Amino acid sequence: MTLTHQVRQIAFNALKSLFSEIDINTDMITVNQTKPEFAGDYTIVLFPFVKLLKQKPDTLGNNIGNYIIENTSLFQNFTIVSGFLNLTVKDDYWHVFLAKHFNDEKYGIVTKTECRVMVEYSSPNTNKPLHFGHLRNNFLGAAVSEILKAAGNDVIKANLVNDRGIHICKSMIAWMRYANGATPASTGIKGDHLVGDYYVLFNDVYKKEVAQLIEDGKPEKTAEKDAPIMHEAQELLRKWEAGDNEVRNLWHTMNGWVYEGFTKSYNRLGITFDKMYYESDTYLLGKKIVEDGLKKGILYKKEDGSVWVDLKEDGFDEKLLLRGDGTSVYITQDLGTAKLKYDEFNISQSIYVIADEQNYHISILKLILKKLGEPCAGGIYHLSYGMVELPTGKMKSREGTVVDADDMVTEMITLAKEQTESAGKTEGFTPNELSDLYETIGLGALKFYLLRVDPKKKMIFNPKESIDLHGFTATFIQYAHARICSILRKENIPLIVDSNQFANFKPILPIEKLEKEIISILEQYPNILSEAAKEFNPSTICNYCFLLAQTFNSFYDVHSISKAENEEKKQLRLMIIIMTATTLKNGMNLLGIKVPTKM
């Protein structure tokens, strides 16, 4: 139990003992770390109980403070400031805590429970490569998965590949029309990029055909439906769903090119999955669910044969589930996937990492599954996140204006190289070590910048700002970790020390302000981890790691380790920085970010 939880429980016990007539619970008690400008370590907010107990803040604070000092051994004194009770923890608590946890590599990690959670993220289309917009999705899904694991959940990382549908047929038609048999091998182009080029080409041709039909006198809406290349794509989709061998063979071939490209991109980004789903497998199950819904009278069919669900009573509109020609739409396959995931893994919760542009779609999906009586509906949670834009504005894949994910990674690694070389920090590294360092810094900067913002907020990505050594960046945190490793090397102490290394540690009181400050931040790590898991919010970990790195820098600027006042102080400070380095490493690892030992 962390100090925050202990203080909340102590405050609850004090209130119940002093005022047995009141009906309260621990959730009513707010405990914060005391602001730096005031004396104390932890603050109990008194205002919720002032009116309830009809006491003045100072009177109530003194009653609670005196009770806590007299009945517990954790605190040495208290002060009251404007309705806040500030408690000062005894120095020996911090020493005991540090001695117990400084060398614990699993500090903060919760024992695995039976709660099984699936996190679905990435979900690329096989008609184009991963682009910059996919990066926040991938990094968010991977980080949330690791945070939930650390919080004790049994996590399955899943990827639903959008490998069928009209958009796939568009790239196929363009390749059939214009490629002359081009392949990744014959062109030297990465497979997902090659297919993506034909998706863009389809759109270019489509716009020209629509423009020509409008010029010939057709209304715009009619022209959009009658464009020859669109008719070809729709016919190809019908043939695909009918199992046409020639169409299926081309589909397998082009998707194979894309998968090879995806694998290279995922490996470079450090993204992994435990389970792969393909819409080409799940859409049939979705169609069966729709057919069952028709039989039960929950769904209905229109004159053209299309199948719909009426959601007007739920504040929505009608929703198409099957087209008149029998082909499925996005939500058809999503119904099948949701049921398949639940049946296969018996998951307690199914988290969909999908941009906020799909808020309506996920709400409808959950509602339809509920109407159909599917038990998987209750566990669906939409981790909705804001879109990422570049300073140049929003990206559009149909128009070929997106920034490729591979290109962005290359740019970030190049920036890391330029920054390291301009700072003159390449001495003592082999060429291979430098290559690894540039990748660690570049990828770390990219991931941290995209994760440091609350997922619900939209954001603009600035590559140069993301790699600033002195800013709110992974680079800043990585440098703090490397700095600690350098100190330990000079002291000839490994980062993970032998359990007997500090067996004879004898604390000297009092503890210095900055020593206490950094230990108290370390003590908060389990709370931070729990909060990040509860809110599915990696930015909580980003903020914590940055604060810890900042506090370490302030601590080390004031307190020498090699020239400490005595051996006991030196041991204390070595234990502090060992635990700081381990906690920074663990926190950043949850975000998928490596921390170097040299920079």
Confidence of residue 344 (pLDDT cuts 50, 70, 90): very high
Most confident of 91-100, 451-460, 462-471, 579-588: 579-588
pLDDT, position 583: 98
SS (H, E, C) 170-203: HHHHHHHHHCCCCCHHHHCCCHHHHHHHHHHHHH
Whether residues 435 and 508 share a domain: the answer is: yes
pLDDT in tens, 2-28: 899 999 999 999 999 999 888 888 889
Residue at 599 is within a domain: no
pLDDT tens digits, one per residue of 107-144? 999 998 889 999 999 999 999 999 888 999 999 999 99
| Residue 479 CB contacts under 8 Å (≥ 6 apart), including other chains | 469, 549, 599
pLDDT tens by residue, 490-543: 999 888 777 677 777 777 778 899 999 999 999 999 999 999 999 999 999 999
Question: Is 191 among the domain residues?
Answer: yes
- Angle of helix 91-101 versus helix 513-523 axis, rounded to 10: 50
pTM above 0.85, yes or no: yes
The tokens for 72 are: 């517990």
Identify whether residues 68 and 143 lie together within a single domain: no
Residue 356: domain span: 121-389
The two three-digit tokens of residue 135, written as one number: 């990066």
Mean pLDDT, residues 87-108 taken together: 92
The answer to the question of residue 297 being in a domain is yes
Peptide bond into 510 cis (omega under 30): yes
Predicted confidence band of residue 426 (pLDDT cuts 50, 70, 90): confident
Predicted local distance difference test score (pLDDT) of residue 398: 46
Check residue 397 and give its pLDDT.
45
Residue-wise pLDDT for 428-482, tens only, equals 899 999 999 999 999 999 999 999 999 999 988 888 888 888 899 999 999 999 9
- Distance, CA of 374 to CA of 335 (rounded, Å): 10
Q: Is 340 part of any domain?
A: yes
Average pLDDT, integer, range 278-305: 94
Helix axes 191-215, 166-178, angle to 10 degrees: 90
Cα 518 vs. chain centroid, distance in angstroms?
A: 26
| Tens-place pLDDT, residues 384-420 | 999 888 776 554 544 445 688 999 999 999 999 999 9
Which pairing describes strands 84-89 and 116-120: parallel, antiparallel, or unpaired?
Answer: unpaired
The fraction of the chain above a pLDDT of 90, given in percent, is 82
CB 24 within 8 A of CB 58: no
Beta bridge partners of 381: 351
| 157 shares its domain with 253 | yes
Residue 520 lies in a domain: yes
Please tell me whether residues 526 and 419 are part of one structural domain: yes
pLDDT at 210 over 60: yes
Burial degree of 550 (CB within 10 A; 0-12, 13-18, 19+): middle
Can you tell me the distance from the alpha carbon of 129 to that of 500, in angstroms, rounded to the nearest whole number?
52
How many alpha carbons lie under 13 Å from residue 381 in its C-beta half-sphere? 15
Are 55 and 142 found together in one domain?
no
Q: Is residue 116 part of a domain?
A: no
Q: Are the beta carbons of 395 and 402 closer than 8 angstroms?
A: yes
Q: Which two tokens stand for residue 513?
A: 């302000």
Cβ neighbours of residue 128 closer than 8 Å, sequence gap 6 or more:
171, 192, 195, 196, 199, 397
Rounded CA gap, 57 and 62, in Å?
Answer: 9
Burial of 425 (0-12, 13-18, 19+ CB in 10 A): middle
Q: Residue 487 sits in a domain of what CATH number?
A: 1.10.730.10
Question: Could you give the angle at the alpha carbon of 145 between the alpha carbons of 142 and 149, nearest 5°?
Answer: 140
Q: If you ran DSSP here, which 8-state letter would residue 314 be given?
A: G
- Averaged pLDDT of the chain: 93
